[in-house]
Amino acid sequence: MTIHQDQISRHKKVVVHQAGNQVDQVHEEQVVHDVSLERRQDIYQITQLIWLLVGSLESLIAFRMFLKVIDANPDSWFTWLVYRITELFVWPFQSITTNPSFQGHIMEVTSVIAMFVYLLLGLIVVRLIWVMFYRVPTSRVSVYDRDEIR
């Protein structure tokens, strides 16, 4: 892996303690810091946002399944809202299989398939982001102390 100069931050600090004309103590600290560590934090936050969106979608679809199983009133504004939001995400899977029902209670197998597919897509997207943008952070600190004995 090649590290470009713009990815590295260098810091050097030298402290000299003097008593009169003589040097009593010298403390030198040099830090070489890889900026990709901050980039790693940004990637982590982006992936956490993706997981938040995937988790929210999964929760909404699971809630849709629950409302279907208990045969919730579709004319209720809350039920209608949940159905409308999740319909877009469940629609691609509607023709895969039939959903078994008994006396109005529906077990949406297609919603389970949708949840599995969206979870898998979230995992793939997060892994791709890590593979494409991850850089191994490196830092080096060297400290040099010298005391003068009189």
Per the listing, tokens 């900026």 go with 35
Average pLDDT over residues 79-104: 92
The residue among 19, 69, 51, 70 whose CA lies nearest residue 125 is 51
Q: Report the pLDDT value the prediction gives residue 5, as an integer from 0 to 100.
A: 47
Residue 141 clears pLDDT 70, i.e. is over it:
no
Which residue type, as a one-letter code, is found at position 27? H
The reported pTM is 0.67
pLDDT at position 142 is: 63
Taking CA atoms, 91 is separated from 1, 6, 18, 113, 136, in Å, by: 44, 47, 77, 11, 41
